[in-house]
Structure 1
Amino acid sequence: MTTSYFKLILREIGHSKARFLSIMLIIFLGVAFYTGIRATGPDMLQAATDYYAHQRLATNSVQSTAGLTKQDLAILHQHRQQVTYQAVKSIDINQLNNNRVVRVAEIPATQRLNRLTVVSGHLPHQANEIVLDQQARTLQPKLKLGDTYRIATTTKLNQQFHRRTFKIVGFVNSPRYIETTDRGVTTVGKGTLDYFALVKPGTLKQTVASRIDVGFKNLSGVTPYTAKYRRLNQENTTRLKTWFTPQAAKRQAQLQRQARAKLAPRIAQVNQLSQQFPAGAAPVKTARQQIAHAQAQITAIPRPTYLYTGRAANPGYSEYHENTQRVVALSTVFPLFFIAIAALICLTTMTRMVTELRIQMGTLKALGYTNTAIGSEFMWYGGLASLLGTLLGVGFGVNFFPRFIAQAYGSMYNLPAINVQYLWADILIALVIALICTMGSAFVVLRVDLHSLPATLMLPKAPKAGQTLLLERWHGLWKRLNFTHKVTLRNLFRYKQRLLMTVLGIAGCMAMMITGFGLKDSIGDISTKQFNQLWHYDAIVVRNGSQTTAQRHALHHNSLYRQDLVLKQSQVTVQKAGMANQTATLGVPQHPQQLTKFVVLRDRQTQRAQHLTTNGAIIDEKLAKLADVKVGDTLPLPVKLGNQTAVNVKVAAISENYVGHFVYLAPAYYRQVFNHRPTYNGNLVQFTKHGQRAENTFANNLLKHKGILNVTLLSTEKKTNFQMLDSMNLVVLIFVVAAGALALVVLYNLTNINVAERIRELSTIKVLGFYDGEVTMYIFRENLILTLLGIFFGCFLGNWLHRYILTTAETNTLMFSPGIHPVSYVYAALLTLAFSLLVMGIMHLKLKHINMLDALQSVD
């Protein structure tokens, strides 16, 4: 390339700055969105991987129905070359003084695994010190460093502690609970944990460990969630089972020996008693019967069951990966819209550039320049715009979008900030696509003109011939149109490429804005539909058994009480191949016909009411999707919490629901499936009035009565569960802003091209006496019609895109409302029209300063 030719390219860029910048901006937006969104999922996964490694998150855990002893630890000690391990003692309690279910655990003397992150304060140094889960601050804002924390639960559980009053010295996060709110299930209280508390070793009286955390060394350095990790973890779980299988019989024998040792003094007393009374005396006979019964019980001590769990059992672990995969899924859709629109606009822009430079191309060809040399100007022009747009797009997108989206998810997880990483494969793909959009478009346009003769190229391209419109055959309408309207319609269909590009470009941008607003609707509707339309109760009361007269009296004579529904309520873990374990609420109302007063069961699409029968269970729609079951199929449920044995319940109906999972059964069907009567341990309660202070007083007064384990207020649940939904509005904002920016660039670029193509035409009508406003309207009418067409088709495209996004963006315990509010279509349309008006405002200033003489001078 000669210096003169290089100057020619630079001069062309200088003469067409608006066109060059518009191409660069289109590429910038497409590349920024593509590389930024594509990098978000891997960045989030890398943040989790680094966190797990730094905190030494255990790869497996072992539990036993009879607790874990030093002999169990000795088994792992024999394989210390393969594993790192630590024993943990814990007890789950229902705090009667603050209505929270808490897991109190002893901090191992040496944290080999599951190392804590201190958010504030420090770990306990003295026996009277305690640290709390950071989640405790959210649930009980009054808790502060230095405050006194008192354990106040049932008399039986209170006796399991050497001390029950502590000083709060810190708040921590545990890698076992990366989700901010979910702390797993328990057999205590309402069935779910609220937070954990950690104390010094020696605080609990229990002599056996509750859990052994295990870290397999062969997984060190292996990326979590990968196929390799799953394969190795499966092999490691098999090893654990092999190691501990012999322990079950040994532990059974140990428990029997301990029981016999405790019974031995009593047997000696009975032997002494038999020497004091005749052989057939009633006291001796009774005592020997008791001894025989005790010995039979010792013989019947079952072999304990060992339970093996991996990281997937940790609340939030699997869901975090699923969320990152949803982001990855989104990254294959939205960037495609940007890239497709960018390609269309670049094709139109390069077509216009080739048309403008026909005379220059003919001159260069007449001077002896080859087709390659002539075409290289356009290649360099488009390639430079693509390269600059790509560099700026990568720099902005990779540094902005991952941080922005991770921040939106940050309120849901206890993970550190992400570290930005450049995915060079995606960056290279983005650069190639950008070059194809510009250089490829230039090549497509040039392949005809470069084979034309110089004399042909040095003449202006003949105007496109007009055609008779179908609308003209509607004589009644056509005669009523004035001249400018007829010209507008003819011009629209005369330049079909511009019509197609503009409509497609605006439709794509409109679709993304509708998707953004639609996501906001879907998120916002969850609260309204779930808490106002489907749930018609204000509190859940959980007891330790069937309702007593005193408990009923305490509930019914409370000032807030209106009515209640007695039911069995418990948490069950639904396990099925191909699905992460799902926690669902099992509900069995004592009087099924009254359930509709408290819970609306209906089909989401038909709104048809559903009722409990003896034909099966009613489950929520999201659980049915995850488990891939439909009406008539069966769903496995555990017989009891923590037991692997499951029973199959038939799905009689699938009901509308948006938060959590539920399985409702009629009492008769429950007896049929589980072979025993349900214990009605709960109440759904409706209040006469509302107010946070009055509701807290209701809960506190009720908890003072014996047997009341927990009172869950729906107002608190609503506030806690939907904190994360507020943060998702940030993601929605990305869609709306990015789509709006793209719509603005598209409209400006296409309008600018339209004006440039018809500068002689516009100058002519200006010479003929048209005012500036009339000249602008001459163009604006066409733009307005094309914009309206784009809005119309964009509504359908946006509706489809919104449905696709919902299927990929939902979490396992959340289902978005699928509808889009009509006003959202209006907002998207008004924004698009506003951008169109803004562009025409800019064009109006440009048209006012048209040099008519230069535009109309002959090029011959």
Structure 2
Amino acid sequence: MRAFFKSTVREMKNSFGRYLAILIIIALGVGFFAGLRTCRPALTETAGEYFETQNFYDFRFLSSIGFSKDSTAAFSEEEQISQIEGALYEDVLISINGNDATVRVHSITNSINIPHLVSGRMPEGENECVVDADYFDEDSIGKSLVLSDGNSEEAVSAFSTSSFTVVGRVITPLYISADRGTTSLGDGKNAAFVFINESCFTADYYTELYVTLSERGMAYSDKYKNLISDEKSNVTELAETEAQLRYRQIVSGAQSEVDEAKAELDRANEELTAQKNAAIENAAKQLTAMGQSASPENPYYAQMLSEIDDAFADAESELAKNYAELAASQKEVDSIEPPTVYALTRNENAGYAAFEQDSTIIENISVVFPVFFFLVAALVCITTMTRMVEKQRAQIGVLKAMGYGKGRICGKYLFYAASAGLIGSVLGFFIGTAFIPMVFWSAYTTTYNFADTLLYSFDPLMYILSLAISMLCTAGVAVLCCRNALREVPATILRPKTPKNGKRILLERFKLWRHVSFLRKVSLRNVIRYKQRFFLMILGISGCTALLLTGFGIRDSIQNVTAYQYGEIILYDAEITFTDSLDKPQQEDFVARHDDFESILFLSVCNADITADSGTKSVSLTAVSDGALSGYMNLHDHDTPVSYPGDEDIILCRGVAEKLGIKTGEMVTLTDDSLRQVTVRVTGIFDNYIGNYLFVSEETMIKLRGEASENAAYVHFTADADINLAELQGDADVSHVSLNKDMKETVETSFASLNLVVLLIILCAGILAFIVLFNLININIGERIREIATIKVLGFFNNESSDYIFREVNMLTAVGILLGLLFGWFLHSFVMAQIKPDGICFDSRIMWYSYLLSIAITVVFALLVQIVMQIKLKKISMTESLKSVE
């Protein structure tokens, strides 16, 4: 047994290159497969742990009138609610070290959305604050943050002090990305956030409420999403009830003040009337005492009445003025509108949603691509083990002749293969699951800021699957090959396999064959004669080329999405959403207030659901008059323009059509937020890469919603316009402004991390290509040692011997590359079809230079392998190699 084990170890040492190649290929295949598959779990678990530690809200409620400070008591009585906390915020202009910035000042909450201290300490006094660690550096601690003179009186009066001392720097789950929100101040964007104690605010109400649920799953999980969906209506109802209570309090308080003022005025009026009547009565008594009548005909009495009227005129005028003011106040009270409550989940948080979108794209790539990667690695391992066992036929025959059992003989090769597979899978799994997610994490930390270290995610099922596939590709193949060999008797096994009979190949039937040189004829015969070697080399090389092309194709499909979306499809500069629909006079007034508009298109926009046979999708539904979109959006299907729909027709973007399997001419149902429905026919599908858009006619919109009120607009700015986002957002009619250049930057930032994904894919595919080529060429040379020695004996120099072997390799490499390009095109199309994040549709394309790069990398690696193998060819001993195998 000990000698048998030594023989196995000796075999490993003597064929260490082959052993190492199997180990590396398995490690690379498992590492890439498990590493990519682990990326999303590792990223989301890290994010989830951070959100859990900082107790990130599950619901955020905003009200147009705020919430009373005793609103939290009503939420606390609900079992499904764990915590409820009110907060305040205000957007202000600040100055620090002579630099001005627009910031959002938040009150510090004690148990929800807990800020994570990066440096310094948390505020203790009323004039202390902590600031955004991404915007303010370490030197900011100890400096004063002062409210600028440009703030309104209302903004300044929101705080108990106008200056705050920076005592620390923090990060917060409210802002894990670079987006700090929009504002009506400055340039329209908040540069940073600031936290102060609640006591620093002067308001006696909350501007927002944060709610956490008592039972919730990990962030981004299906369990969490389902729970939020189930509880949203119940919790929102509580918030609306509390907002209505505050509304009644406000109205009741205001009405009480009006009623008190009216009662005062009524008393003053009664007193004034009584005084005036008394003065008139006194005048009449005086005239009566003088023997004159107190009648209007009496000039003295008329004069006295005139003097009395003059005396009370100012008081009566003042009283009338007060009554007019009272009527205006009553009108204001009557015009107080019921509150609008906005129920926001984490998905409405820009950073939270963007992180999920980015990690989902990685997950979609990891579903398909690593499988093909693993298949190529498995193919090469199978080839290597098959060739190894066949090469060891003589040793197997000797062992069997010496009386060793089939199990003992198989055990040698099983140990050889299984040890390589086991070590490779273990190394590959743990290195891949640790390194690859870390690479993505390092890229994401430039975009997201919420944790210092990445959590390691271990999936036992994935480990077992990886190990099982590795063992199947190595140990399984070794056992299978041994069984086939051991079926024969030792005398037969000890003899080499009978060479295949030579026969004419198809090319010999053509006249061109006569003009081919002898050595090339030999190479062509060898290539076509040994079909197994031919197909294995072709499959290995084409697989690697296909993986390379797919990696480059993913890059090509992603990197130009924003250029196409915001250069070829969306042509307007900004989209404006209004607080309410505008009629024609209001539209004219709005345009007159903004002289930097070159043109504007008012349109009707609403959210709706589109339902087809395969499912339902939420979309943005837009209606304009026919032809009005020209110059604002270029709707086309590849190079064919898409006509605007007529009555009861729609056109929809390609992403929605592909998700729901909708084709032109089909009937679908539109449902608005009031559950009103209309059935329409799809007349066109247009290219669109970002967002889910549908366009209908104004007549269709009226049939669906009862009106086609224009509540949004597309805008072209003048060429020399100095776009002031804050001024636009500060307009009383404007609810939100979205600049296309900002949207483009946001999407490009999100996609930037994907470049690292593509780089990793290309790098791993390149390494695999090198190892595959090395292994296959090494096998090819190992099988032909006697043939190479023979041609050396015949007088071939080293370079000629190398050319003889590598000529066949080059032929197979060329064929493999051509087939790989074709297979890569299909593989890329298949992979891109799986990458379908919600609201994003990639333009599946491969640029011409990506084909050249894939060819070049494969050729370079083939040449590098040939350089390495040429050394091995020179070391072949003619005498040793030509010894009889008998």
What range describes the TM-score normalised by the shorter chain of this pair?
A: 0.7 to 0.9
Alignment: residue pair count: 830
Measured at CA, do residues 173 and 838 of structure 1 come closer, stay the same or move farther in structure 2, by a change above 3 Å?
A: same
Distance 1:706-1:388 versus aligned 2 partners, 3 A rule: closer
2:520 aligned partner: 485
- 2:815 pairs, out of 768, 789, 797, with 789
Name whichever of 488-497 and 647-656 sits farther off: 647-656
Question: Is residue 2:253 matched to residue 1:258?
Answer: yes
The 3-state SS of whatever aligns with 1:267 is helix
1:116 equivalenced with 2:150 (yes/no): no
Equivalent in the alignment of 1:854: 880
Aligned to 2:479: 443
Q: Which residue of 1 aligns with 2:208?
A: 211
Aligned counterparts, 1:747-758, within 5 A: 747-758=773-784
Residue 709 of structure 2 is aligned to residue 683 of structure 1 = no
1:173 aligns with 2:171: yes
Structure-to-structure mapping, 1:116-195, within 5 angstroms? 116-119=115-118, 123-128=122-127, 131-133=130-132, 148=146, 150=148, 152=150, 171-181=169-179, 183=181
Q: Distance in 1 between matches of 2:732 and 2:790?
A: 92
Question: How many angstroms apart in 1 are the aligned matches of 2:763 and 2:186?
Answer: 46
Aligned partners of 1:150 and 1:166 also within 8 Å:
no
Q: CA deviation at 1:495?
A: 1.6
Aligned to 2:82: 83
Contact 2:86 2:208 (8 Å CA) reproduced: yes
Residues 162 and 664 of structure 1: is their aligned pair in 2 closer, same or farther, counting only changes over 3 Å? farther
Alpha-carbon separation, structure 2, partners of 1:256 and 1:67: 14
Deviation, 1:189, is 11
Task: Choose the corresponding residue for 2:490, options 454, 469, 494.
Answer: 454
Alignment of 1:664-703 (within 5 A): 673=705, 675=707, 677-678=709-710, 683-687=715-719, 699=724
Q: Does the Cα contact within 8 Å between 2:689 and 2:842 map onto a contact in 1? A: yes
Q: Does the aligned pair in 1 maintain the 2:187–2:726 contact within 8 Å?
A: no
Contact 1:40 1:327 (C-alpha < 8 Å) held by counterparts:
yes
1:125 and 1:246, CA in 2 relative to 1: closer, same or farther beyond 3 A? closer
**Counterpart in 1 of 2:798?**
772
Residues 626 and 812 in structure 1, CA contact (< 8 A), matched pair in contact too: no
What is residue 235 of structure 2 aligned with on the other side?
Answer: 240
Q: How far apart are 1:583 and its partner, in Å? A: 9.7
Instruction: Work out whether residues 42 and 454 of structure 2, in 8 Å CA contact, stay in contact via their aligned partners in 1.
Output: yes
Work out the CA distance in 2 between the residues paired with 1:520 and 1:848. Answer: 42
Tell me how far apart the structure 2 counterparts of residues 729 and 418 of structure 1 sit (CA, whole Å): 20
- Assess, with a 3 A threshold, how the Cα gap between structure 1 residues 851 and 29 changes in structure 2: closer, same or farther: same
The residue correspondences of 1:355-754 to structure 2 (distance < 5 A) are 355-416=390-451, 417-473=453-509, 475-536=510-571, 555=595, 564-568=598-602, 595-597=629-631, 599-608=632-641, 620-622=653-655, 633=668, 654-659=685-690, 673=705, 675=707, 677-678=709-710, 683-687=715-719, 699=724, 718-754=744-780
SS of corresponding position for 1:210: strand
Shift in Å at residue 78 of structure 1? Answer: 3.8
The alpha-carbon distance between structure 1 residues 412 and 151, as it changes in their structure 2 partners (threshold 3 A), is farther
Structure 2 CA distance for aligned equivalents of residues 302 and 317 of structure 1: 33
User: Rg bigger for which structure?
Assistant: 2
* Preserved contact between residue 95 and residue 146 of structure 2 (Cα < 8 Å): no
Q: Closer, same or farther in 2 for the Cα pair 1:149/1:647, shift >3 Å?
A: farther
Counterparts in 2 of 1:193 and 1:515: CA distance versus 1, 3 Å: farther
Query: 1:511 deviation in Å?
Result: 1.7
* Counterparts of 2:338 and 2:373, CA distance in 1: 62
Quote how far apart the aligned CAs of 1:480 are: 2.3
Partner of 1:641: none
Give the distance between the partners of 1:218 and 1:450, measured in 2 at CA: 62
Q: 1:844 corresponds to which letter in structure 2?
A: Q
Q: Which amino acid aligns with 2:212?
A: G
Give me the whole-angstrom Cα distance separating, in 1, the residues matched to 2:162 and 2:555: 46
Deviation, structure 1 residue 454? 1.0
**Matched residue of 2:260: which SS?**
helix
1:327 aligns with: 362
CA offsets per residue over residues 676-719 of structure 1, 9 Å max, x none? 6536777321526xxxxxx8x66499789988989977656544
User: What's the offset of the Cα at 1:491?
Assistant: 1.4
d(CA) in 1 for partners of 2:214 and 2:709? 47
User: Which is further off, 187-196 or 128-137?
Assistant: 187-196
**Cα root mean square deviation, aligned:** 4.7
Shift of 1:829: 0.9
Query: C-alpha offsets along residues 771-829 of structure 1, whole Å, 9 cap, x if unaligned?
Result: 32222222222212222222222223322332344344455454433211011011011
**Alpha-carbon distance in 2 for matches of 1:674, 1:299:** 28
Offset of 1:86 from its aligned partner? 0.9
Aligned residue type for 2:861: F
Equivalent residues in 2 for 1:262-281, closer than 5 Å: 262-268=257-263, 271-272=266-267, 275=270
Displacement, 1:764?
1.6
User: Contact conserved, 1:619 with 1:664, CA < 8 A, in 2?
Assistant: yes
TM-score (norm 2): 0.80
Q: How far apart are the structure 1 equivalents of 2:702 and 2:155?
A: 31
**Larger displacement relative to structure 2 (720-729 or 461-470):** 720-729
CA distance in 1, matches of 2:326, 2:513: 109
Label 1:52 to 1:307 Cα distance change in 2 as closer, same or farther (>3 A).
same
Q: Pick closer, same or farther for the CA change 1:681–1:168 going to 2, 3 Å.
A: farther
**CA deviation profile, 1:88-131 (whole Å, cap 9, x unmatched):** 12346799999x997735314x5211111244555555545555
Secondary structure of residue in 1 paired with 2:636: coil
Q: 1:817 to 1:242 in 2, by over 3 A?
A: closer
What is the rounded CA distance, in whole Å, between the counterparts of 1:350 and 1:127 in structure 2?
A: 74
For residue 660 of structure 1, report the CA deviation from its aligned partner: 5.1
Output one character per residue of 1:164-220: Cα deviation in whole Å (capped at 9) or x when no partner. 66566655432134343374x88999999776444442555543222221223333x
Instruction: Output the CA distance in 1 between the equivalents of 2:434 and 2:819.
Output: 34
Question: Structure 1 132/717 Cα, relative in aligned 2: closer, same or farther at 3 Å?
Answer: farther
Contact 2:89 2:107 in 1 (8 A): no
Structure 1 residues 570-623: Cα deviation after superposition (integer angstroms, max 9, x where no partner): 997777899999897x8888x9857544x4422242342555877677665446
Does 1:833 pair with 2:866? no
Native 8 Å contact 1:541 1:708 kept in 2: no
1:96-111 equivalences in 2 (<5 Å): 104-108=104-108, 110-111=109-110
- What do the CA deviations read for 1:41-86 (whole angstroms, capped 9, x no partner)? 2211221221111101123334445422134222134458952221
CA gap 1:157/1:618 in 2 versus in 1, 3 angstroms: farther
Q: Residue 350 of structure 2: SS of its match in structure 1?
A: coil
Indicate the larger mover: 153-162 or 79-88: 153-162
After superposing the two structures, state which structure 1 stretch, 711-720 or 457-466, moved more. Answer: 711-720
2:871 aligned residue: 845
Question: Any idea what SS the aligned residue of 1:411 has?
Answer: coil
Structure 1 unaligned runs (5+)? 557-562, 639-643, 689-694
TM value normalised by structure 1: 0.83
